[in-house]
Amino acid sequence: MAGLVGCHISLSYEPMIASLRSIAQRSVPAFMCLAAVASATAAEIDERSPELFKEWKGANEQRVAPYERFLEQRQALGTVPMHQLLRTSFDWRKEACRKVSAPPFDVPPDESWDRMAATLRLVSELRATGSLPDYEVVSAYRTPTVNKCSSSKSDRHIKNAALDLVFSDASAMEAATLRLCTFFWRDGEPRSMGLGFYGKSHKWPYGRIHIDTLRYQTWGPDTKRDTSPCLRVARVHRAR
Ligand SMILES: [Zn+2]
């Protein structure tokens, strides 16, 4: 696995550096190069890049292809890029997960595919209604073993019903929180929307948001309803 990661780093950064070099050669002011670096970094927060996925997929094509066909039939293919949709735990490289050989990506069992199709339908609706700003999926399906070694342990990921999202900065996270909570109170119940919020960490300085379609429920960093920021949003709405 270490070889894969090394390969991913060189594949990810070389084209970027080459393109920056070519920008510099055209005498563009330095601040524009810095902006290019910032946006290239912001484009993918998690280290499991499309290049790493391509390499992994090469050895797992026979498992990936039927899932892609299923999602295509359900008109859910492409809602989330495949290299994000198959990301397991974002702790996959931590010692506890390395001990159980947690892979960077995995294909869920086929009996669970319908659940993810439902969650992707919700994500499409959230995007269409402007309730979800640009995001990146950092965890979807996790086996029970991988779930156990993760710092985040919701069993909704074992059921392949959940997505953990991160955002590029604090204001995007804030906008997502407000919009998703508004959607949750207004339209979440008939969609069995689960909406969880996890606190800031070294890896995710703006926190994370969990979405699923298993049960209508919201929770905050301690997994209790009382700490969900949606309760604050509800109060704001009531005050108006
Ligand atoms: Zn989650």
Total number of domains in the chain: 2
End-to-end CA distance of the chain: 53
**How far is it, in rounded angstroms, from Cα 114 to Cα 105?**
19
What is the DSSP annotation of 144-168? HHHHHHSS---TTTTTT-EEEEE-S
Shared domain check, 20 and 94: no
| 208: β partners | 198
- Pairing assessment for the beta strands 217-219 and 194-198 based on DSSP bridges: parallel
Q: Domain for residue 230, yes or no? A: yes
Instruction: Give the pair of three-digit tokens for residue 123.
Output: 């994500």
Q: How confident is the model at residue 41 (pLDDT cuts 50, 70, 90)?
A: very low
Quickly count: other Cβ atoms within 10 Å of residue 163's Cβ.
Answer: 28
Shared domain check, 102 and 134: yes
Q: pTM for the whole thing?
A: 0.80
- The 10s digit of each residue's pLDDT in 160-190 is 999 999 999 999 999 999 999 999 999 999 9
**75 Cα to the center of ligand 1, angstroms:** 23
**183 Cα to the center of ligand 1, angstroms:** 18
**How far is it, in rounded angstroms, from Cα 116 to Cα 161?**
5
Q: Which range of residues forms the domain containing residue 25?
A: 1-43
Q: Domain for residue 48, yes or no? A: no
Shared domain check, 85 and 163: yes
**How far is it, in rounded angstroms, from Cα 181 to Cα 27?**
46
Task: Indicate the average pLDDT of the chain.
Answer: 84
Shared domain check, 75 and 22: no
Q: Domain for residue 161, yes or no? A: yes
**154 Cα to the center of ligand 1, angstroms:** 6
Give φ, ψ of 215 to 5 degrees: -155, 135
Shared domain check, 172 and 219: yes
Q: Domain for residue 56, yes or no? A: no
Shared domain check, 74 and 150: yes
Q: Domain for residue 52, yes or no? A: no
Instruction: Give the pair of three-digit tokens for residue 182.
Output: 């508004």
What integer pLDDT is reported at residue 17 of this predicted model?
33
Q: Domain for residue 121, yes or no? A: yes
Q: Domain for residue 54, yes or no? A: no
SS3 142: coil
Shared domain check, 151 and 36: no
Q: 33-40 long-range contacts, Cβ below 8 Å, gap at least 24?
A: 40/16
**220 Cα to the center of ligand 1, angstroms:** 12
Shared domain check, 139 and 22: no
Shared domain check, 209 and 123: yes
Q: Domain for residue 227, yes or no? A: yes
**How far is it, in rounded angstroms, from Cα 153 to Cα 138?**
14
Shared domain check, 135 and 187: yes
Instruction: Please state the rounded mean pLDDT for residues 92-119.
Output: 97
Shared domain check, 198 and 148: yes
**14 Cα to the center of ligand 1, angstroms:** 32
**69 Cα to the center of ligand 1, angstroms:** 25
**51 Cα to the center of ligand 1, angstroms:** 24
- The 10s digit of each residue's pLDDT in 55-100 is 999 999 999 999 999 999 999 999 999 999 999 999 999 999 999 9
Shared domain check, 187 and 96: yes
